[in-house]
Amino acid sequence: MEKSVMPKAFSSHHHWYSATLDSLKTAGLSNSDADSSVTSLLYTYENAIHGFSVVLSTEQLQALQKTPGFISAYPDHTVEIDTTHTTDFLSLNTVNGLSSAANYGKDVIIGVIDSGVWPESESFKDDGMGETPTRWKGMCETGVQFNSSMCNRKLIGARYFNKGVIAENPNANIFMNSARDTDGHGTHTSSTATGNYVEGVSFFGYANGIARGVAPRARIAVYKVTWEEGRFASDVLAGMDQAIADGVDVLSISMGFGRRTPLYEDPVAIASFAAMEKGILVSSSAGNRGPDLRTLHNGAPWQLTVGASSIDRQCAATLTLGNRLTIVGWSLFPADALLINVPLVYNESLMACNSPNLLSEFANDAIVVCDGGSNVSGVIYIVTGELYQEVNDFRFPGVIINPSDGAKVINYAKSTSQPKVTIKFQQTFLGAKPAPVVAAYSSRGPSRINRGILNPDLIAPGTKVLAAWVSNKVTSTIGRNLKLSSDYDMIYGTSMSCPHVSGVAALLKGAHPEWSPAAIRSAMMTTANPLDNTNSPILDNDVLIYLHLMEQFLTIVRSSQYNCSSASSDLNYPSFTAIFTEETSNITQEFKRIVTNVGSGVSTYRANITQPSGARVSVNPRKLVFQEKFEKLSFTVHIEDRKRRNGNIVSGSLVWVDSRAKHAVRSPIVVMDQNRCGCTPEWSPAAIRSAMIITANSLDNTNNPISTEAYLIPAGDINMGAGQIDPNKALDPGLIYDAGPQDYVDFLCSFNFTREQFLTITRSSSYNCSNASLNLNYVSFITYFSETSSISAKLRRTVTNVGSGAATYIAKIIAPNGTTVSVSPNKLVFREKFQKLSFTVSIKELKQRGGSVTSGSLAWVESTEHTLSGSLLLYRTCLWKSNGFYLITDYKISSFQP
């Protein structure tokens, strides 16, 4: 609703909204399936947005749209839910650094929008905390199993919001109608951000140490908005609205809405704008839909968007074979167990490990070697794919090892008639390298709804993070009957990386209370570290192999003797990409493949084809009959292009299914034409993957087959943003890129929003669009080029000197490939603290690369100690259509469907 239209007769927005709804009842507009109470207000929003939540019929909504002050209405929708060592890993336990400079976040208030809190957790004790800041306006709301005495000088506020859930399902019986957490997610994120010191914390013996949040002396206020019964935007918005009113300094929200949700329909984006206006930094998770590009949410430029990375800690079990070879694998089996000289069973007929009866018959009281597709425990699993190691809660009496170590186990088992193995659980190792690595699940940028901004902004620890949990919730089991709970749990996700950054933001706010949210974000981004603990570029874990059959693993191990010295566009690889252009002489392309039977012996496979739209795929022969193990057979795939798609990308698949329906080997088929694109067959795997269904295999960033032991590649800016957060450097960044509400408004004005959409976000008609510009004063630089756009671009920025005084900075440029980049002026001379100076970055494209993304950097280097970094990202876009893609051209963006 438009604030300025409210009649003076009303003392508040609530009264105005109530009267407006009453007018609908007076007019006889009521729901046919509900009584008049349906139109009562669910929430009135005063801070995050000017508006309200209500249940209305279509007829009532149409009438409401005609009332004075109405701007827009959107349906309620659901939200996606996205440490003993992590603070050490971030160097936050040093005597001299950000933590001590900020007095460990003393009296900074962090608001957490999540699933509530388990107030009895030791992480929320108020030992060492002073009196609650007098500026705090919040409260501790009573409810089921929660009373006001459960708050203290640490946990200073707790509220809950579920009217949206109840409106969606009026018959819902809210299980825990209070701020008490029954899920664990909110307790985990809250304690990660600002948990107090707790000694002797571990997860059943793993990761033992002193638990603490990033800002252990900060205050915490929780707002429960997600429920077992549902998660709705109206409740999220209500929680954020209240947090702003209560006076939090930092808002941490580990959830988000669809990556295609427009800014003016995204409650988190809208509420974050209001928070930014009041000097509140909003730290948000990027999402867990990686490794594909354009999968992140929370991409508004006034938010801080956080991706996830690994740390250098490995929770493990050690295998000691009978030949005294020791192997370290992954495990979280929750028992202090030591299995000594247990028989080791390796039998190819048991490799699938899918029959407990068969296993019991052949391998009773033994350790069995299984492949990654198995569904039983008590074994050694041999798998590949770092994603499995990242996200799998392997809490069974077994251990995961990689293919290289798997080969050693198998070779040993074959070499002796009575192989033995000893397994010791509850092992924790620090110093694993490389670390950090961008997590495979971490959503990648750029944002689908926000051009000109590099997201995610940075990365932080998100994999296997240990933090407080709901004490009565099962976290692990031993066997089928023994269920275990723990006060601390180890989980993963950008939900876990977000509160790390929220905590750092609180420390920076404590050290620099005068800094704006943009200044805090700038300090973190410009000092982020792009290197890992081997002093090499941070790796991106987006190139993965998912092997569900041990046979596939053995095939790859055998292929390691080969190399790529003989280039060929028809690599014997389990995927097919057919590229057609106007210059292509044939409308049919042929692919030859050779497969090896590594099953138990005689087997028959038949081809099952899913045809790409507008193309015809045939296979010859359609049946492969193997007479023996290790036999090789060839087949040919023909792909005929029957329809020009003007750049469209379509996909299908070829699946070889054996006669026993035990094995199904799937290969993706991608068909594209580039008549108008000017693209080349050398598109990166990431570009191709954005148009295909990710399956069992992928190409690496050189278009070569992935090896089993070296599948990590350097992470790009759209994967990790500025890099891994470096809290101590962020304390003293030298220069910052600052921005205020009007700067973001000028940026929004360039989106061609309607007046109603614009007012939904800004909530005020006092803003104007006289200076609309895509040149937001942001740390990063993104330039889009297309066939119809200019080959050069100029981007203007302003930096503020927050150093001790006079300083001189020199520009150091690493230009993206195929471009020239210049900066004017290339030297900034500051005379005093807080002085602002501007510069212009000119980017000229020298070579069209067709659909590629290239990156570089601009660093401002001071003669004494500071280096201020920013990313340069160049897009060369093709005018293709693809489901949900954006057409980027001439700096205008529009969404379309094929």
Catalytic residues: 114, 185, 495
Inter-axis angle of helices 550-559 and 403-415, nearest 10: 100
**562 Cβ partners below 8 Å, 6+ apart?**
none
Helix or strand (DSSP H, E) at 638 = strand 632-641
d(CA 133, CA 799): 33
d(CA 29, CA 91): 62
- State the pairing for strand pair 230-231/226-227: antiparallel
Beta strand spans in 744-885 (E): 781-785, 792-801, 807-814, 819-824, 827-830, 836-845, 853-862, 867-876
Short-list 627, 628, 630, 624, CA closest to 596: 630
d(CA 254, CA 497): 9
For residue 52, the Cα-to-chain-centroid distance in whole angstroms is 30
d(CA 172, CA 734): 54
Short-list 124, 723, 835, 204, CA closest to 438: 723
Strand partners, 231: 226
- Both tokens of 46, joined, read 């005063």
List b or e across 432-447, with b for residues whose CB sees 16 or more CB atoms inside 10 angstroms.
Answer: eebbbbbbbbbbbbbb
d(CA 891, CA 883): 21
In order, the DSSP letters of 525-586 are HHT-B-B-TTSSBPEE--------SHHHHHHHHHHTT----S--SS-S-S-EEEEE-TT-S-
- Both tokens of 168, joined, read 């969606």
**320 Cβ partners below 8 Å, 6+ apart?**
326, 327, 421, 422, 423, 424
Name the burial class of residue 570, with classes exposed (0-12), middle (13-18) and buried (19+) by CB atoms within 10 angstroms of its CB: exposed
SS3 state of residue 758: helix
- Both tokens of 383, joined, read 């798998």
Q: Virtual CA dihedral for 859, 747, 792, 778, nearest 10 degrees? A: 10
Q: What are phi and psi of 718, to 5 degrees?
A: -75, -5
d(CA 769, CA 772): 5
Residues found in the chain: 898
d(CA 203, CA 12): 50
d(CA 111, CA 190): 9
**789 Cβ partners below 8 Å, 6+ apart?**
889, 890, 891
d(CA 893, CA 879): 12
The dihedral region occupied by 480, where left means phi > 0, alpha psi between -120 and 50, and beta the remainder, is: alpha
Q: What's the Cα-to-Cα distance from 199 to each of 95, 127, 195, rounded to whole Å?
A: 19, 13, 12
d(CA 46, CA 48): 6
SS3 state of residue 377: coil
d(CA 371, CA 288): 26
Residue 10, amino acid: F
**565 Cβ partners below 8 Å, 6+ apart?**
none
